[in-house]
Structure formats: C-alpha cells, structure tokens
Amino acid sequence: MDRTTIASLYKDPQHYGDQQVAVAGWIRSVRDMKNFGFVMLNDGSCFKDLQVVMNRDALACYDDIVAQSVGAALIITGTLVLTPERPQPFELQATSIVVEGESSPDYPMQKKRASREFLRTQQHLRSRTNLFRAVFRVRSVAAFALHEFFQQRGFVYVNTPIITASDAEGAGEMFRVTTLDLQDPPRLKDGSIDWSQDFFGKPTNLTVSGQLQAENFAMSFGDVYTFGPTFRAENSNTRRHAAEFWMLEPEMAFADLGNVMECSEAMLKYTIDQVMKKCPDELAMLNSFVDKGLKARLEHVVASDFARVSYTDAIQILEDAVKAGHSFEYPVSWGVDLQTEHERYLCEQHFARPTFVYDYPVEIKAFYMRLNDDKKTVAATDCLVPGIGEIIGGSQREERLELLEKRIKELSMDPEEYRYYCDLRRYGTCRHAGFGLGFERLVMYLTGIDNIRDVLPHPRTVGNADF
C-alpha cells in the first residue's frame, strides 16, 4: 500500500499543501463537536501527531469514526491544509476514513498517565506512549550515531561471538549455554557431567565482553569496534543492572590511553549532538516530564572539555572533601575502588563536567591492563558523567608478552586459555588501547530515565524474561 508518513508532512509541508494525501496511523484522541470532529493521529514516523478534521456533512462514516476507541488504526485520505495562523502548521481535511483495526475501551494505553511499573507489565504496548516513543527513538538514533562515528573514522565493525568457551576477564557471573538435557545429563564414570557430549564439545557461556576477540582484529585492521549484546548473571536487582545489555567496544592499534580519552570524548559529543539534532521533540518531552535538567546538561557536555585527573589526585580530592566535612558512605583511601558516590562527587561537584579518572591501582583492575612505570598503577581510565557515574571504562592493553604472562600466572589464570591472546604479543605486538561503553547507560544519560528496565525494549533481569 502507498501512504505518506506524518514525518514527511512535517518535513516539507509546502510540498504537500493543498494536495490529496493518504495517511495511516493510530488514534491518540478523538473529539466529536457535533458538526465537525477531530482525530489526533500518530503513525510512529515522528513524535508529533497529525490533526485530522472531519466534517459531519461531508463524511458518511463520521458517526462510526467518532465512536472509535483510542488506539484504533485508521487509513485516512484528505487534503492537507496549511494553517500558518494556528499552533499546528497544518491539518488534514478528511475526505475518506477507513477503520483498519478497531481498539477497545479496555485498551491498556489510555491517555491517562500510567505508572512506569504498570507499563513494564505491558512491554508489547508501552512503546505507544509518548514516554517510550521518545526513549526508543533516542535509543535508535544514538545507536546509529555510534556506528556513523566509528565508520567515519575508518573503524571496522566486528561481530565478536556471543557464545564463548572462555570467561573473558572473569568480569562477572556467566550464563551457561547448553543443549544437554538438564533432567538427565550424560555423565562420566565419576559422576561428573560429560561436556564432550554438549553441542560444542565443551562447556560454553554467554559472553561478558568482546574485547579480547576485538583485539585479534585490531591487530589486522588497526581500528575496530564491536557493538552487540553482553550478559551478566548477577543476582542484583538495581536500577542500573540488567542481565542482558548492549555494549560498544572499540579497540585501536598503535594507540595509548590519551587516544582512548580523545576518542571516547569525541564519540560522546558526536552522539549527543546527533540526538539533539534528530530528536528535538523527544528531548523536549523528556525535559518537561522526566528530567528538567536534561537539555541543559546535554548542551553543557557538548560544549565542555572533559576534565582529566589521575586516580591518585582524585583520591586526594575526595580525602580533602571528607576533611572539609563531606561525608561518604564508603571510606576513601588510596587503593580502594571508587564507588558511585565518589564518582558522582568528582564529576558533579568538584569538576562539574564529565571527568576522566586515569591510572588506577593495579590490584583493582583487570589482568590485561598495561602496567605503568610506577609498577603500582595501570593505564586504565573511567569516564564519569554527572547523574550517572561511570559510563565508559577503557585501558591501554599490556602489549609486552613477558609482563602479560607474568600477570596471568600471578592471578592463577589458565595460560592455555590465553595462548591465542598471548600470540598477539608474539607476532608484531604493538601498543594498543580500547574502551567499553554500556549502551543502556548512555541511553539513560540521553533521556534522563533512571531505570535500565525502561531503556531496554524487553528487559531481562533476575526473575524477568517476559515477552
């Protein structure tokens, strides 16, 4: 079927003015004024509705249409009339309306405001509300902006595997993937599971990170990125954690921690800028109803140079704050991992802008991070943003074979499992660095939404895998 999207009408009203057009969408509201009536129609192509005017005398189906419930699908033909004197720039004078699909008075997405908790039980319908139409369009625009940013810089997109036999960095609890019958799995003589009979001939899990595999490709393409789902089987029920979430992981050859900071700052600014350009109506709605400071904060980020502070100096700042009377729940001293409250203090109160903290103690960071000359810290950085805390974690990777092997041994990791990874250091190793962006954290930051369940189309959390 041929139809004109409402987005097209708003994009070029002059082109469609006084023309016949056919639109198709869903009723947001309908009003019967006796001799004429109005339908506010939305087709999802843009945030704005189209006002449709119905003249009772000219429209045989008038009574049928004004009796329709919110959510009904209509196909409407009419003339687009420009109305420069009114709040909306045009309206559609309907000449024919066909009911494509009726709705019902028990439609759960009525105009009245529903709680976000209730809407989580209606994930198949909630994207029809203003709130979720805004959130999920921002999500889509941000995802594409990230692809654009890296493709324009010449990065190669690599789909690292989801099913993996390694545990990456031991970064978290993993989900087992299996085709064995749990009821009665094959067993060896000693009673243990016979994994050789599983689909892959060994135990496999869902990936927690594509970084190690991305490094394989950085050593051939120079600059690469992954962007795909990752998983954590952590039994935590917080606003910031989901069991399944998307992660972007760029990896750059011949690059150091400075390149990570430059690239990730430019990436965030580009993405925010694209969302501001492409989703002005969505941001206006989110700014009015979700987070009054949203637009100001995003504009501020695009205009700011991000702060940079070493972990050691950051600890000093936090200790000074404690001395000056500020109280934190978790104690602060050199060597501790920063808690969200510390991160937020640094980027919200001390620097008042996004902040890179770099050179963390070796003990609290992953095995693959590059040891600094001080032998106490590694070339790692976290990017902290106001309102969220950590949004990006990156590091320069240990490219020196002997130091990497030593670290693997110190941590009692299985050298055989990391043989391929060490191979990259055997054949043409080079300094290289990369980072990971939790995509849902970014969408929360871009929308002001404070619960990760509301930025995932169908969130998976402990006890929840509906739809």
| 239 touching a second copy, by CB under 8 A | no
Per CB under 8 A, the list member of 63, 313, 374, 466 interacting with a second copy is: 466
| 453 touching a second copy, by CB under 8 A | no
> Could you tell me where the DSSP H helices lie in 279-412?
280-289, 294-303, 311-323, 340-344, 401-410
By CB under 8 A, the residues from 247 to 266 that bind a second copy are: 253-256, 258-259
In the chain, what is the greatest distance between 2 CA atoms, to the nearest angstrom?
A: 86
Residue type at 248 in one-letter notation? L
Give the residue carrying structure tokens 């309306």: 97
Per CB under 8 A, the list member of 17, 172, 185, 361 interacting with a second copy is: 185
| 465 touching a second copy, by CB under 8 A | yes
By CB under 8 A, the residues from 68 to 127 that bind a second copy are: 71-73, 75, 100-104, 107-109, 123-125, 127
Strand partners, 55: 36
**C-alpha span between 355 and 86 (Å, rounded):** 46
| 424 touching a second copy, by CB under 8 A | yes
| 199 touching a second copy, by CB under 8 A | yes
**C-alpha span between 424 and 426 (Å, rounded):** 5
Residue whose CB is less far from a second copy, 299 or 417: 417
CA distances from 224 to 142, 215, 251, 253, 434 (A): 19, 8, 5, 9, 9
We find the least distance from the C-beta atom of residue 142 to a second copy, in angstroms, to be 9
Stretch in the footprint of a second copy (CB under 8 A) among 287-295, 344-352, 387-395, 425-433? 425-433
By CB under 8 A, the residues from 263 to 302 that bind a second copy are: none
Per CB under 8 A, the list member of 32, 36, 51, 143 interacting with a second copy is: 143
Stretch in the footprint of a second copy (CB under 8 A) among 58-66, 304-312, 363-371, 423-431? 423-431
| 221 touching a second copy, by CB under 8 A | yes
The DSSP code sequence of 121-134 is TTTTTGGGSHHHHH
Per CB under 8 A, the list member of 52, 177, 267, 332 interacting with a second copy is: 177
Per CB under 8 A, the list member of 140, 236, 237, 288 interacting with a second copy is: 140
4 token code pair? 């004109």
Q: 3-state class of 111 per DSSP?
A: coil
Residues 6 or more apart in contact with residue 199 via CB below 8 angstroms: 178, 179
